[in-house]
Each structure stands twice: as structure tokens, then as C-alpha cells.
Amino acid sequence: MASSDDNAVGRLTSILSHLSPLSASKDKTMSYFDSVPQAPPDGILKLSVLSRADTDTNKVDLGVGAYRDDNGKPWVLPVVAKAEQRLQNDPNANHEYMGVGGLPSLTGGAQTLIFGSDSPAIHDGRLYTLQTISGTGANMLGAVFLKEFKVPADAAIYISKPTWGNHRSIFETAGHKVREYRYCNYQTLTLDINGMLEDLRTAPSGQIIVLHACAHNPTGIDPTEEQWSKIADVMAERGHFPFFDCAYQGFATGDVDRDALAIRMFVSRGFELFVAESFAKNMGLYGERTGCLHVVTKDSTLLPAVSSQLNRLSRATISTASAYGAKIAGTVLQDKALYSEWLANMQTMSDRIKSMREALRSKLTELGTPGDWSHVTSQIGMFSFTGLSLDQVETLRNKYHMYLTDDGRISVAALNSNNVEYVAKSIDAVVRAAK
């Protein structure tokens, strides 16, 4: 006959067997992660995988968001190579942590670059800048800050239709509701300024509006100075908060001041705002993840509290920013000779992209490709919004080994003298086939 102690042990063993995920037979196939759904594939990353797997000699990867030279190769800017050599020769070089705010030579130089040396925000002490993990990190840090402190608390984030593929993901991940405002006229492939202004005007007051400072991604369509003024008028009228994303300053037109026109206009008109800045494109520091988040406040007395909260959030997410790219960019920004050479390097990239736009349009015109292709040269920056349909894009991908995004965006920087004719003939073929 079993003792009471034996019975107690038996009951305890039975209970433990039900509680333990390792011993319960019904739990052997279960996982803590069973409820995690598959995330939708990232369009750009998916495209890169497909392109890398394609061994056809005619392959053209038009999806890559990085500058390529006329041989289709990555280009290390000569000025960046010089800055790197200087860093390597520095006897005091080290790999110590930087402060939470980042490298002062970078953040200070970035302020002047974006806002201008005569900026009232700099002069009045209303501007704070901290280093981030490139432009993506700047967008995310701003998004997290706004989720905690935005006024009104239910304000939504408004992004252009279309916009950079990561914008929606960043702001939704931070917990915001994301809405769209009209931007591209898909019939003419020009700015739908009336639709944009109407959407900004009818949005509830105090919304957060994400604006591309220059070289709009993916369309390459930028407002004129007059149109920017109208946008500012409506945003002031409705009390909206501008959140500029600036990834192409100097790279877009070759002129850093021209590319910063919209930001400086809004500052001069008294807006408080955020600017996310990246040095990936204009310095070619893609993998170094070098960027900044700038905040302009109405009054200098507000800055200590705002900067303290940004520092807190940055510390909680990345501790401190990476040093190497910051040291390169900071060296270039603070040295007059290197800075001048950098401007020339950017002009080289900008000019080559413009020449490829002209070459593609010229080839399409020579072929008599149906449609109006003037948008190829009227758009600006790294990308061109071709207006090709999804069916045409898939045909280009499957039949002609050309890889562009589903919305018809191509990276003009991927064109060169060796492939532009093939690209034009392929586009001509799919356009004619659809007629």
C-alpha cells in the first residue's frame, strides 16, 4: 500500500509534467514563437536577392539605391579616401566610445551644411543635433520621440504617396497611425501640387508631415520654390509639424544650398521642425551608417529639455553612435580644402546622373517609344519614376533581366554607357507590347 508521501510525490510529478514544456508530450511541437507571423518581404531587399541570383550577361540591376560609376562599380569618393588616410596616419587614433550626442565635428558641420552658416536657428541657439545610425536611425529616433511627446497626442504621421519604402514601416513600428497625402500625378508623372495642398489643408490641425527635402524618393519629383512656399503657407495655417527627410543634399543638384532650400525656408518662417539627415549618398558612406537628427525649437529655453529626451532615447536604443563614418564625415566637413573637394566630387556624381537621364531619354526618343518621356529629364536625383506598369516591370525582370521596383522606379545611377541602350530597347519593347 502506497504511503501518503508516495502519493504526494506522485501528484507533484504529475503537476510538474503538465507545467514543463520540455516533458509534456503535447508541448514537444510547440514553440514560444508559434504565434509570430511571417513578415511581408521588403521589396528592395527581395529585388537584390533576385538580381544576385541572375547570371545572365545582360542583367541590369536598376533597384540599387547606391551610386555607381560608368563601369557599374561602387565609387569611393576621392575626398573620402583622403580623409580615411588622414585618420589612419593620426597617432592619436583610437576606438573609444563617443558621447551620446555623437562626434562634435560631424554634428557641428552637419548643422552648417543643412541650415547655412547664417541660420537664425543656429544664431539664436534654437538648434540641437545628435548623431544617428544614418537617415533611417534619424527617422526612427524622431518617430520614437514624437510618439512620446507629440501634441496632440493622437496626431498622425502623413507621408507622401508614394514615398520611400521604409517610411511607413518606421513610423508604424514606433506606434504612429500613418496616413498619406497626394504627391505624384500618375498620369503626367509630375507633382500633384493641388492634391497635396488640399490633403494638407483638410487634415486635422497639428499633424506631423514627412517631407522630402530634395530628390524625392521614389519619384524624383521636387516642388519648385514657389510650390514650397505654398506648402509652407498651408502647414502654418493648419499648425502642422514638418519632419524633413534629407538623404540627397548636394547629390541631387550638385549644389548643397539649393538642395537645402525648403528646410531653410521653413526655418526662416518660424517653424519648429525635425530634419533627418544621411551621409550615405552624398559621401558614399553607405555601410558606415552616418547621419544626424536635427531639431529646431521656437525658443532656446526649450532646447535643454528636448535635447535631454533625445539623448535619453538615443542612449536607450544605440547607446552611442558609430565612430568611423562620423570621423570621416567630420574631417571632410571641418577642413576647407577637403570640403571644397567634396563639393566637386558631388558635382561629378550629380553630372553623371544627369547625363544618364539625358542618354536614356534620347535613346527612347530615337526608338520612337510610345509616350512622353520628358519626365526622365525633368525629375531629379538618383531615381526616376518611369510610369511603367507592374506587368511591364515583371516582363522586364523575367524576359530582359532588368531589375526595377514594382512601382516602376529605376536607379538612374545604375545606368552607364555600356547598358543604357539595352535598357532603352527593353523598355521600348515592353511599352510597344502593351499597346
d(C-alpha 279, C-alpha 137), whole Å: 12
- Is residue 228 among the annotated active site residues? no
> Nearest-5° angle of CA 298, CA 299, CA 305?
100
Going from the C-alpha of 186 to that of each of 149, 161, 195, the distances in angstroms are 36, 10, 12
- Residues facing 323 on adjacent strands: none
Phi, psi angles (nearest 5°) of residue 385: -95, 105
Please report the pLDDT score of residue 29 as a whole number.
81
d(C-alpha 419, C-alpha 396), whole Å: 14
d(C-alpha 388, C-alpha 407), whole Å: 7
Q: Which residues contact 140 (CB under 8 A, 6 or more apart)?
A: 170, 173, 174, 317
How far from the centroid of its chain's Cα atoms is residue 340's Cα? 25
d(C-alpha 130, C-alpha 234), whole Å: 29
Of residues 164, 228, 342, 373, which has the active-site annotation? 164
Cell numbers for 343: 563639393
Please report the pLDDT score of residue 56 as a whole number.
94
d(C-alpha 95, C-alpha 392), whole Å: 50
The kind and range of the H/E element at 159 are strand 157-161
- Is residue 164 among the annotated active site residues? yes
pTM for this prediction: 0.91
d(C-alpha 63, C-alpha 217), whole Å: 12
3-state secondary structure (DSSP) of residue 56: coil
Q: Whose grid coordinates read 502593351?
A: 434
User: DSSP characters for 63-115?
Assistant: ---S-B-TTS-B---HHHHHHHHHHHT-TT---PPPPTT--HHHHHHHHHHHH
Please report the pLDDT score of residue 18 as a whole number.
57
Of residues 199, 245, 335, 407, which has the active-site annotation? 245
3-state secondary structure (DSSP) of residue 236: helix
Task: Provide the residue-wise pLDDT of the chain in tens; the chain has 435 residues.
Answer: 555 555 655 665 565 555 555 444 455 689 999 999 999 888 788 888 899 999 999 999 999 889 999 999 999 999 999 999 999 999 999 999 999 899 999 999 999 999 999 999 999 999 999 999 999 999 999 999 999 999 999 999 999 999 999 999 999 999 999 999 999 999 999 999 999 999 999 999 999 999 999 999 999 999 999 999 999 999 999 999 999 999 999 999 999 999 999 999 999 999 999 999 999 999 999 999 999 999 999 999 999 999 999 999 999 999 999 999 999 999 999 999 999 999 999 999 999 999 999 999 999 999 999 999 999 999 999 999 999 999 999 999 999 999 999 999 999 999 999 999 999 999 999 999 987
> Nearest-5° angle of CA 155, CA 160, CA 162?
140
d(C-alpha 160, C-alpha 5), whole Å: 71
- CB-based burial, 101-120: b 16+ in 10 Å, e otherwise: bbbebbbbbbbebbbbeebe
Q: How many Cα neighbours within 13 Å face the side chain of 113?
A: 34
Tell me, what amino acid is at 130? L
CB of 167 closer than 8 Å to CB of 245: yes
Q: Whose grid coordinates read 488640399?
A: 198
Please report the pLDDT score of residue 106 as a whole number.
98
Cell numbers for 256: 548643397
Identify the DSSP state of 253. T
How far from the centroid of its chain's Cα atoms is residue 288's Cα? 15
Cell numbers for 431: 511599352
- Is residue 245 among the annotated active site residues? yes
Q: Whose grid coordinates read 511627446?
A: 149
Cell numbers for 387: 510610369
User: DSSP characters for 101-151?
Assistant: T--HHHHHHHHHHHH-TT-HHHHTT-EEEEEEEHHHHHHHHHHHHHHHH-S
